Amino acid sequence: MTQLGIVPRPARCETQDGAAFVVGESTTVVVDPRPDLIAHGVLAADLLGRVTGQAIEVRYSDEARGARDVIRLRIVADDPGLLEGDEAYRLVVTPQRVEAVARTSEGLTHAVVTLRQVLEHNGDGSWRAPCVRIDDAPRFGWRGLSVDVARHFLPVDSLKVVIGLMAHYKLNVLHLHLTDDQGWRLHVPSRPHLARKSSGTSVGGDPGGYYTPTDFGDLVQYAAVRGITVVPEIDVPGHVNAATHAYGELTPDGVPTDAYTGIEVGFSRLYADLPATSEFLRAVFDDVATMTPGEYVHIGGDEVLTMDHDEYARLVAQAAAAVRAAGKKVVGWQEIATTPLEPGTVVQYWDTRVEAAPFVAAAHAGAKLLMSPGSKAYLDMKYDEHTELGLEWAGHIELRDAYEWEPTTLIDGVPADAVIGVEAAVWTETIRDLDGLTTMLLPRLAAVAEVAWTAPERRDWEDFRTRVAHHSDLWNRIGLRWYASPQVDWR
């Protein structure tokens, strides 16, 4: 049996030796003449065409059932053969045709990127997909990547590359850490000085920037077309120097704080007793919620080192109330688990050095846990001591470390069904541009994606390392920088 390099590993995959579907000049993508499917056909043709280097035509048809040389995409609400869940898909490749079936457009995108992953050079300029039948669906509904655009700003075009990579690995949540001590990266109409005054630089005095509401809408749409929801994070009540720099009314003496380009954490804060604070929280979260079609808004809540716990809890409650009043659900870093939470709040676990008790209590009170353990899923950690970029506070994370962990047994006493999913995170204190970012993401993002997608009994390191070896070819063709982990025999 030929081994296909599909990552994350599908639930079921049967290959047949020898025969293949050839993607040639006359191959077309065929969809039913429905507006949503037409858009899908165009995206699929684009995704596949970029790999093969040849434009693929899209046709609409009701009569393509028997047609040859076609890649047919179908959304079928009641196909009994599909696995359970909104994101399930089936991909069947025969020498005559490729059939992709799903219940939703998200599922269909998973089928298309799977096809893209199995395409191989024929040697004569054409491409082939080995004959295969795949039935697949994800383990977790939240498969995320958090990107820190505050420490170093990342332009829209670079984020689109990241979104493309996420779709390739079937990740479906892009969490943007939009604000921190060093910069405020989203224009908020009701508080215009935030982006105007506090976006000019990045860590070390590197160039800054911010997203206008139009830029942000563009990102949200670009992601949505690829099955990805954007979760914006406004980090409060710590990590707020960019806010106190723009609005002096947020500080006790009314004087704006200085701009900050270092990488310390924990020193900045809001003040619960200032009248400007609650108005600020309400206005900012309201505006951000308005710009966000997704269900969730992230309130941060991490690393507040200069405030007593009561005041911290009051501020977290105010931020959460503002998010809920704007019709969204709340996500926060793990520290919020020490405060009273509404059921359905998502607690993002990151620091594995702390006690389990608050998470167990939060889970029993109806909170959900999102797993981003620093020692496994923080993709800004160095691979080893020779890695040029990155930090080391959570240790070194080689590819195998990012792969071999189980989200439901990370925290003693948290029931498995409280785990909503898995999120990788990449912080950008040391990462200055897209090349640096992809060097830290690849290949580890593929590993975390498999942890999030594939059932534990289907996960196996030896199997993963041979599959992921196929992926460098595409990274190279797209021109992405990546880290050649010595744990893989790259092809």
- Residues in contact with ligand TNX by CB under 6 A are 265, 302-303, 333, 350, 378, 380, 391, 427, 429
- Identity of residue 163: I
Residue reference for tokens 């919620």: 289
Residue type, 277: T
CA trace torsion 429, 381, 240, 273 (10° rounding): -160
As measured in angstroms, the least distance from the Cβ of 192 to ligand TNX is 26
* Under 8 Å between Cβ of 50 and 475: no
Of residues 53, 63, 114, 110, the one with CA closest to residue 86 = 110
**Which lies closer to ligand TNX via its Cβ, residue 181 or residue 450?**
181
Known active-site residue 303: yes
Find the shortest distance in angstroms from Cβ 266 to ligand TNX. Answer: 9
**DSSP one-letter string for 361-426:** HHHHTT-EEEE--HHHHBTTB-SSTT-SS-B-TT----HHHHHS--GGGSSTT--GGGEEEEEEEE
Q: At its nearest, how many Å lie between ligand TNX and the CB of residue 429?
A: 6
How near is the Cβ of 167 to ligand TNX at its closest, in Å? 25
- In whole angstroms, how close is the CB of 255 to ligand TNX at the nearest point? 25
In three-state secondary structure terms, 52 is helix
Nearest to 268 by CA among 241, 246, 249: 241
> Smallest distance from the beta carbon of 209 to ligand TNX, in angstroms?
18
CA distance linking residue 217 with residue 191, whole number of Å: 18
Q: Which is nearer to ligand TNX, 380 or 450 (CB)?
A: 380
Minimum Å gap between C-beta 374 and ligand TNX is 7
SS3 138: coil
CB 29 within 8 A of CB 58: yes
Tokens of 56: 């693929």
Locate 239 and state its tokens: 């990590």
For ligand TNX, the closer of residues 287 and 429 by Cβ is 429
Counting Cβ atoms within 10 Å, is residue 123 exposed (0-12), middle (13-18) or buried (19+)?
Answer: exposed
CB of 384 to ligand TNX, least distance (A): 17
Identify which of residues 78 and 264 has a Cβ nearer to ligand TNX in the complex: 264
Catalytic residue among 120, 249, 279, 303: 303
Residue with the two structure tokens 């089928």? 111
Burial environment of residue 347 by CB neighbours within 10 A (0 to 12, 13 to 18, 19 or more): buried
Look at phi and psi of residue 347 and say left if phi exceeds 0, alpha if psi is from -120 to 50, else beta: beta
Contact (CB, 8 A) for 398 and 374: no
Secondary element (H or E) of residue 66: none
Distance CA 135, CA 21 (A): 18
> Nearest 5°: phi and psi at 352?
-80, 0
Q: Which residues are catalytic?
A: 303
